[in-house]
Structure 1
Amino acid sequence: MKPLRVRLLLGIFVVVTALAWAGAKLWNSLDTLPGVPAAAPVVLAVVAVVLLAAAVSLRSRLKAIRDRAPGAKRVDPLMAARAVVLGQASALVSAVVAGVYAGLGIELATLPDFDAHRTAVITAGLAVLAAAAVVAAALWLQHVCKLPEDGGSSGKGTASSAR
């Protein structure tokens, strides 16, 4: 499995922001734009906290194994792999969601009657920040679960840290 790169996530964010802004502009010319759900930043923040908790838990368990602490719990490699996949999927979806809310927020902020849309713009901005927190937590979880490099010339990781 290849690790996610920040450059890829930023590229997704920029492209989706441009498309969402253009779509919001078109939608606004045809009809009234929808509002931004107040629960969006809250849900994204909860996902960020869950990913952060998983990363902290895995990090402490892996550190205890590396330090050969007595009673250290073994980390199931499949569970660690699932955590990484969850983190990568969350980061990709959050980059898209952040782009959608950024594009919508830009369009709402540029409308002549800004005062009528102030709450929606603030909520969209908070959703973008919460999505960035999800991406940061997911990238850290990916880093925590990274296997150490093998001493050989093959450059492939070993499963020694997951035991």
Structure 2
Amino acid sequence: MRQLPIRVLVGIFGIAGVLAWAVAGTWDSYGSLPGVPLFAPLVLAAIAAALAATALSLRSRLRAQRERRPGAKGVEPMVAARAVVFGQASALVAAPVAGGYGGVAVFLLTAGLAGGTRGSQALYAGCSVVAGAAVVAAGLFLERVCRLPEGGDGSGDDGPGLSAA
């Protein structure tokens, strides 16, 4: 598997942000813009926490396996491969979601925060952008943890779990 380029994620984020800003402006001109749910940043933060916990667990298991500690539980190649796919998929989904919420937040801030409702909506959208960025970062960290070591050809010399990515 190839490593997910950060520039692709930034491009997806930017395109989604511009589209969301334009759609939010159009939608608001025809009526009331739908609200940003309170649970949006909470769900994204929970996904980021799951990705980070998976990455830290795999990192410690791989380190113990490399150091050949007695009783170390190795990492199966398919487990590492699935973790990489989980991290990449999460990052690829979180980038447009965060970009969308970023576009809505920019629209709400530039359209004026008349009333407390728009201010709270802009705050929820901004928190969703931060949580989405945390998902992307945790996904890329998980991908990096499962990467083959330099010079590793997957021949099994470095241990059974290191040839997954």
Aligned partners of 2:113 and 2:119 also within 8 Å = no
Whole-angstrom distance in 2 between the partners of 1:33 and 1:158: 56
Structure 1: any 5+ residue segments left out of the alignment? none
Matches within 5 A, 1:32-71: 32-71=32-71
Amino acid of the structure 2 residue aligned with 1:18: V
Displacement after TM superposition at 1:64 (Å): 0.3
Inter-partner Cα distance in structure 2 for 1:75 and 1:35 = 43
Secondary structure of 1:16's aligned partner: helix
The question of whether the paired residues in 2 share the 8 Å contact of 1:147 and 1:158 is answered with no
**Amino acid of the structure 1 residue aligned with 2:61:** R
- The residue that corresponds to 2:136 in the other structure is 135
SS in 1 for 2:115: helix
Aligned residue identity for 1:8 = V
For normalisation by structure 1, the TM-score amounts to 0.92
Residues in 1 aligned to 2:15 and 2:111: alpha-carbon distance in whole angstroms: 22
- Identical pairs, percent: 52
**Which digits, 9 at most, give the CA deviation of each residue in 1:84-143, with x for residues without a partner?**
101101001100100110011111112244333100001100000000011111111000
Does the aligned pair in 2 maintain the 1:149–1:157 contact within 8 Å? no
Relative to structure 1, the CA distance from residue 23 to residue 150 in structure 2 (aligned partners, 3 Å threshold; closer, same or farther) is: same
1:158 to 1:101, Cα distance in 2 relative to 1, 3 A = farther
Q: What does residue 17 of structure 1 align with?
A: 17
Deviation at 1:149, TM superposition (A): 3.2
Q: Which moved more, 1:54-63 or 1:111-120?
A: 111-120
Q: TM-score, length-normalised on structure 2?
A: 0.91
Q: Secondary structure of 1:104's match?
A: helix
Q: Which amino acid aligns with 1:66?
A: R
What's the Cα RMSD here?
A: 1.5
User: How many residues align structurally?
Assistant: 159
Alignment of 1:36-115 (within 5 A): 36-115=36-115
Q: Which residue of 2 aligns with 1:8?
A: 8
Q: After TM superposition, where is structure 1 displaced by more than 6 Å over at least 4 residues in a row?
A: none
Tell me if structure 2 keeps the 8 A contact 1:104–1:124. Answer: yes
Identify unmatched segments of 5+ residues in structure 2.
Answer: none
